[in-house]
Chain A
Amino acid sequence: MTAPASNPLLSDRDVDFQLYEVLDTESLCQLPAFADHSRETFTLFLDSTRRFARDVLLPTYRLMDTEPPSFRDGRIHVHPLMRKLYPQLVELGLLSATHPVEAGGQQLPITVYSLASAYLMAANLSAYGFIGLTTGAAHLIQAFGSPWLKDEFMSRMYRGEWTGTMALTEPQAGSSLADVKTRATPVGDGTYRITGSKIFISGGDQDFTENVVHLTLARIDGAPAGTRGLSLFAVPSRRPEDGRLVDNDVRVAGAIHKIGWKGLPSLALNYGEGGDCRGWLVGEAGKGLAHMFQMMNEARIMVGLNGVATASVAYQEALAYAQNRPQGRPAWEKDAARPQRPIIEHADVRRMLLRQKAIVEGGLSLLAVASWHADVAAHGKTEEERRRAGLLLDLLTPLAKTFPAEKGFEANALAVQVHGGYGYSSEYLPEAYLRDQKLNSIHEGTTGIQGLDLLGRKVMAAGGEAMKAFTEEVGATVERARKAGVEPAWGEALNRALQEVVELTMELGAAGMAGEVERMLRHSADYMELFSVLAVSWRWLVQAAAAREGLARGGEGRDFYEGKLAAAQYWLNTELPRVTHLVALCRSGEDSYTRMRPEWF
């Protein structure tokens, strides 16, 4: 009845474990915003998305990877499969799933949506990319746009009739958005004439819907330099005029030849070459970046999920390969006539698989808890609860974006490695996932930017309140693990590492206050690394606790829990100790690369 075993994308058992054993996602239904939901609706939605991902999206992945969009006659032609896939993705209800009923949504908790969408990303990240971009862009209009924009643009985007993009980057202004030059000139009728160039605009054109709306950062004439002068505009490729759509003078200047995410075009766009490009202001003039930032947190969580999903699908590929590929015999087997054994029986292969498992499931747990705080931050019962969750979400966001991107890349490399020589060929899928993964450390704020954000902004936020809330969360986990009967040394090690990080953070904060900004931020990359290891250790301790609780309940499913405990042991014994070393490095004054002069290279 069922198709031959193919890649499950993510472990269903693990997703259920994260939702209902590590977290208590059902308890979110006690919040008024989620009162219409229950475990039953969550299960039905997860079932639909994971089946759609496996049955429909996964078989299209390689086709879209090998046949990227083409640029002909000034237009982008995406893979013809998108004509079928996009309406089906829309039909599932993904575009407005988490949004309020008034906005046509279903008020699904982000926690559930995140884990469900991870399946779609793992199956075909490019196809899902159009959905992610459109929902992000439509959400900006929902949050800040005029009623007219909501009627004319947002509702069409949510219905799947138009798609959307985030148009921030310019050739000279990527990480440095303060340098955005695109101009907006008031026309006099409330609209603006837009002129300028954008680059790396994902989904900037396509031929499966009639229009694309670009949420564009531009500078109104006379606005100050820097980020304070930026405003947000909705700029459609075709604009409504007298009840029909006319060309809005947004030209595709070229398509980037990417090494991954090949199904999703990344474009250079020129606005107003013919002097006839109109934009509509979204929100307040001069608040463009602030408005954009609200969505950027969402987008960063989505990038983190993509990182986990891309690492997961490759891990599942490697796991199946290792179980089936016979090669070699145990070192103590002397008889060469004996049949060869599956490579999973070799300890070093299990090391590589366990490392992938630890990264994938640790990352998924981090994304799940960040999503949880996003739900509570938006819909928690009290002001205090919402505020605290918001601080935790802000703190966790750079980690949830960066850990899966950086360590996910390592996991993806291990998936290639497990496949040996075959892994280095395009006959097998892991090479494609490795190419896809690399983007996640670059887009939506590079790892370098995330490190500066974490150390320079997030851990110092609200006079250390975010850090205090994080410390409390870790404390509660250590207590839960102790009660569940988890190896006490693990909780103690986590506590010690946390203490070290808290002290380091105070020192670096003090250095910053004393004006030594360079010394404070010198090791921001190491700080990001050590905080990621710490945060994922926290997620592994809580998973160990939930696994112990599961084992104590008895019955079937012991293997799953034993696997969790082994992965927790692996992470807490081999990764957590690195925190001490990295803390020492941040303190040491080690200054080789800051002292290094360009001419010395």
Chain B
Amino acid sequence: MKILVTAKRVEDPESKIKVKPDGSGIVQEGLKYKINPFDEIGVEEGLRLVAKHGGEVVVVSIGGKEVQEQLRHALAMGATRAVWVNHTGPLDQMGVAGLLQKVAEKEKPDLVILGKQAIDDDQNQVGQYLAEFLGWGQATFASKVESLESEQEKNKVPALQMGADNKSVRVVREVDNGLATLECALPAVVTTDLRLNLPRYASLPGIMKAKSKPIEELTPAKLSVDVTPKVQVLKMASPPPRKAGIKVPDVATLVDKLRNEAKVV
């Protein structure tokens, strides 16, 4: 089977992220970047599925030349080859989904796995748009369940399990009131949640092998996608700093403040 997985380049949450004084974006200088952690979970899940069912993981990223670093990271983890959509201008979620749609139509994967969201803007939209654009089934927020080893567990299913004929996928999702299990005909779109797996650490032999794995370059023009954003970013700003808390002498005062100042009870 073939699995297409996304690898978005995002700011490392451990670097200090500052908004530019004019609000036009964030200060790029001195920042570190990494593969979106949810996408990394997707790469891992793809690798585990092909280890079981055979096939290949193709990894895709959109951006300037620098996104090749994230593609190499996924290749070092074990992906077979990479697709790089070379685009440096602004891009909204529909633009991303449009580009991924064309890549998917070209690659014809059985499954597309994306992070449920990217940790830079936390939008949580691309997977859903992509499924709609492709007209495929979708199972978002795929999460983890216990193994099938004991009798008791046999009725449960692992988070992502291919149907016996490899024509469907069963996904356990994290939802507000617990877990929901979906079965989806292939091809399908799956987005990963945090607890799906623990991604492997790229090994040195894997890193060296990744050097010779191919990265195919595409562009929005080659894919005939108009990526003119429909969403316009007006301004970026840091959230206002939290005010210091106060101590109240007793419960009565607390209730009074909650009712009359905060107006929450």
Contacts and interface: CB of A to CB of B under 8 A. Distances in A.
B201 A48 contact: yes
Interface in A546-564: 555-557
B14 A2 contact: yes
B16 to A, nearest CB: 9
Contact of A48 (B119, B202, B211): B202
A44 B202 contact: yes
B30 A41 contact: no
B237 interface: no
B250 interface: no
A178 B73 CA distance: 51
Contact of A1 (B29, B37, B73): B37
B13 A2 contact: yes
Nearest to B36: A1
B13 to A, nearest CB: 5
B27 interface: yes
Contacts of A557: 30
A555 B29 contact: yes
Contacts of A92: 201, 203-204
Nearest to A2: B13
A556 B27 contact: yes
A40 B13 CA distance: 20
Given A2-B14, A44-B76, A51 B201 contact: yes
Nearest to B198: A55
Contact-residue bracket for chain B: 20 to 34
Contacts of B202: 44-45, 47-48
Nearest to A88: B201
Nearest to B202: A48
Contact of A41 (B27, B119, B207): B207
Interface string B33-73: 01001000000000000000000000000000000010011
A326 to B, nearest CB: 15
Most buried by B among A48, A88, A106: A48
Contact of B211 (A36, A43, A52): A36
Interface size class of A (residues with CB under 8 A): 20 to 34
A389 interface: no
Contacts, number: 58
A106 B194 contact: no
A210 to B, nearest CB: 23
A93 interface: yes
Contacts of B201: 48-49, 51-52, 88, 91-92
Contacts of B30: 555-557
A115 to B, nearest CB: 14
B180 interface: no
A97 interface: yes
B208 A106 contact: yes
B241 interface: no
A125 interface: no
A93 B202 CA distance: 9
A234 interface: no
A78 to B, nearest CB: 22
B222 to A, nearest CB: 25
B205 interface: yes
A36 B204 CA distance: 12
A414 B97 CA distance: 55
A108 interface: yes
Nearest to B72: A40
A45 B207 contact: yes
Given A1-B13, A40-B72, A45 B27 contact: no
B204 A108 contact: yes
A101 to B, nearest CB: 9
B13 A91 contact: no
B37 A41 contact: no
Interface string A519-561: 0000000000000000000000000000000000001110000
A43 B194 CA distance: 25
Interface in B191-212: 194, 201-208, 210-211
Contacts of A2: 13-14
Interface in B172-219: 194, 201-208, 210-211
Contacts of B14: 2
Nearest to A91: B203
B211 A45 contact: no
B208 A41 contact: yes
B163 to A, nearest CB: 31
B156 to A, nearest CB: 25
B15 to A, nearest CB: 10
Contacts of B37: 1
Contacts of B206: 93
B194 A1 contact: yes
Given A92-B201, A555-B30, A556-B30, A41 B211 contact: yes
B43 to A, nearest CB: 14
Contacts of A51: 201
Nearest to B200: A91
Interface in A60-81: none
A475 B119 CA distance: 48
The 10 closest A-B pairs by CB, nearest first: A93-B204, A556-B30, A48-B201, A93-B203, A44-B207, A556-B29, A48-B202, A52-B201, A557-B30, A106-B204
Given A44-B72, A556-B27, 8 more contacts: A41-B207, A41-B208, A44-B207, A93-B203, A93-B204, A106-B207, A555-B29, A557-B30
30 contacts: A1-B13, A1-B37, A1-B119, A2-B14, A36-B211, A41-B207, A41-B208, A41-B211, A43-B69, A44-B72, A44-B76, A44-B207, A45-B207, A47-B34, A47-B73, A48-B207, A49-B201, A51-B201, A52-B201, A92-B203, A92-B204, A93-B203, A93-B204, A93-B206, A93-B207, A94-B204, A97-B204, A106-B204, A108-B204, A556-B30
